Amino acid sequence: MSAAAQRIDERIGRIRRLPDGLVNRIAAGEVVERPASAVKELVENALDAEATRIDIVMRDGGRTAISITDNGIGMTREELEVAVERHATSKLKGEDLTNIMSLGFRGEALPSIGAVSRMTITTRSASAGPEDSAWSLTVEGGRVGPAEPAALGQGTRIEVRDLFYATPARLKFLKAARTEYAHAVDVIERLAMAHPHVAFSLGDGSRTSLRLNEAAGDLFEARLSRLGAVMGRDFEDNALPIEAEREGIRLSGYAGLPTINKRTTSHQFLFVNGRPVRDKLLYGAVRGAYMDFISHDRHPMLALFLDVPPEAVDVNVHPAKTEVRFREPGLVRGLIVGALKHALTAAGHRASTTVSNAALGALGRSAEPAGAPRYQWQPPSYAQTHVPCGMAEAAMAYQAPIGQAPFAGMMEGVAPQARAEAPAPETAALQNHPLGAARAQLHENYIVAQTGEGVVIVDQHAAHERLVYERMKKALEADGIKRQMLLIPEVVDLDESSVDRLGARAEEFAELGLVLEPFGAGAVVVREVPALMGEADVQGLVRDLAEELTEFGEAMALKDRLAHICGTIACHGSVRSGRRLTVEEMNALLREMEATPHSGQCNHGRPTYVSLSLNDIEKLFGRR
């Protein structure tokens, strides 16, 4: 043997077959990453078995014991003995992997869990007669024991003890019991959203921390009830129904108003054929739909359910089955973006009730905690109340008078301070409008309007910012995006695959005002750019577009930048805080808000108005 061969032999040894027990433990690591992974696999099995009630108990975060009991169709003795063998399943008909209708199909869950724990399965088939018993079987570290008679009603109970005892290295990477338990809660909540007609409970043996009863009504109503139980009453009260269909793909669910949002995507739940997934394409579609209505560092709350023909989606991407691949990703993305934007437009000027609830909570507090930050109004500076000439002209070019009031004239001079006066007959009529009749202006920034049922307080700058922005978008859609030819075309060096992707989308980019074409094997030349962008970083723009196409298969960067610039112009061209308005101007602003979609929030997702009912106001003064 040569010295080199000896070194190789010492380092990796000769090629040999691994023992079955070791193979099973290696494979189990892909399926059972932590206790929550075992819970997910076993609960999915229960759902596939048509269970209507599933009870889960986890002790010590799942390390010591996991117990899952369901009332599904159960198994016979023969089925039980086969079920614990690797790659044994009843969920695939033949060898067709393109027609998967169940949550599980790999046949790996039970043998993988049994390979790294002490697992006992007790089950009774729905077809068993009164004299037939249930059957129980134990798997310990991959070793299968004999099936024995047991006592159990219809369904299955699986007990997993000492998880990962056979792979001690995996135990070292588990987090605290509370953390592992929280992961399991997240898993159960996601599955519960997709199956509202199934009751779930989760506890630690001493108390039940999660209990979700079977929701009543049809699937659409039951989903909203279940979503409210999981995501909170605020979401249920401020959720917009989503329902759309295109080329055999159906989208349903609920999406929150932009003014109810979170710092992370933790409250975005996406499902494909009843399966919870975490997919970049779907998250990107949600981001694109809310792009105009929410700040880039905030995320909407929603739960969307996609029903896709099995042959149009591949769920066999990863053992955990949380990733999918669509045959036509562009169709799916367009369906999601279009449905969400349609729902947001239909919401009109509506803002979430959480805005009013927060205001009432602030008003109702008798005292502030010591050291709590407090907002103090500062008189606006000259820079805040005067718009740069270029920006003002750009914004005013897209403005039109609101109603009959010379609204554009607001930007010229200062109108007298609005005063609360006795309501005139026309004012009483205006109170029937959703946003009521303007009665006063406070601190030269907040419009106070009276409605038939209470009071509305409007942030004049935030409201007008949204109105100007919507006008600019309409103008861009009507006249197209004006292009500006570069005096010297810009050559951008890229890899060949990126050049091919950009070249294939050249016509789409031209519609957005960006004219480019391949320039040799590894470069593109840019001849025109959107005029709105001014002196843009062409090199950075094209490279960002190439990366966007590589990651998502869709070009959003250019649209994002145009939207950002439109928003910036709208912000600087809107009526500023500190500008005094007449009553006519204030009423004109309120009427246009009512007629303009999305006017319940500014371009950054902040609310433009707060509505307080008379009942709530009277409660603050102890009158109710």
pLDDT given for residue 13 in this prediction: 59
pLDDT given for residue 352 in this prediction: 58
Domain 20-212 has CATH 3.40.50.150: no
Give this prediction's pTM.
Answer: 0.67
- Of all residues in the chain, the percent with pLDDT exceeding 70 is 74
Handedness of CA 42, 44, 49, 55 (dihedral sign): positive
Q: How confident is the model at residue 599 (pLDDT cuts 50, 70, 90)?
A: confident
Position 106 pLDDT exceeds 80: no
CA pair distance 161, 147, nearest whole angstrom: 18
Q: How confident is the model at residue 193 (pLDDT cuts 50, 70, 90)?
A: very high
Distance from CA of residue 32 to its chain's centroid? 26
Give the CA distances from residue 596 to residues 293, 402, 465, 475, in Å, rounded to whole numbers and listed in that order.
Answer: 13, 11, 12, 14
pLDDT given for residue 205 in this prediction: 85
State the average pLDDT over residues 517-543: 82
pLDDT given for residue 556 in this prediction: 53
The third-level CATH classification (topology) of the domain covering 353-364+383-473+575-620 is formyl-coa transferase, domain 3 (3.30.1540)
State the average pLDDT over residues 353-374: 54
Position 426 pLDDT exceeds 80: no
Q: Point out the least confidently predicted range of 195-204, 317-326, 482-491, 579-588.
A: 317-326
pLDDT given for residue 24 in this prediction: 66
pLDDT given for residue 67 in this prediction: 97
Burial class (CB in 10 A: 0-12, 13-18, 19+), 375: exposed
CA pair distance 111, 88, nearest whole angstrom: 9
Position 433 pLDDT exceeds 80: yes
- The tens digit of pLDDT for each residue in 171-182 reads 888 899 999 999
Domain 220-346 has CATH 3.30.230.10: yes
pLDDT given for residue 64 in this prediction: 94
Nearest to 349 by CA among 458, 437, 214, 440: 458
Q: How confident is the model at residue 280 (pLDDT cuts 50, 70, 90)?
A: confident
Instruction: Break the chain into its structural domains and give their ranges.
Output: 20-212, 220-346, 353-364+383-473+575-620, 482-570
Q: How confident is the model at residue 482 (pLDDT cuts 50, 70, 90)?
A: confident
The more confident residue out of 351 and 32 is 32
Q: What is the DSSP letter of 524?
A: E
pLDDT given for residue 255 in this prediction: 94
Q: Quote the tokens at residue 543.
A: 């490279």
Average pLDDT, the chain: 80
**Which CATH superfamily is 482-570 part of?**
MutL, C-terminal domain, regulatory subdomain (3.30.1370.100)
CA pair distance 173, 126, nearest whole angstrom: 40
Q: How confident is the model at residue 412 (pLDDT cuts 50, 70, 90)?
A: very low
pLDDT given for residue 81 in this prediction: 92
Position 404 pLDDT exceeds 60: no
Q: Point out the least confidently predicted range of 59-68, 148-157, 282-291.
A: 282-291
Q: Quote the tokens at residue 572.
A: 């600087």
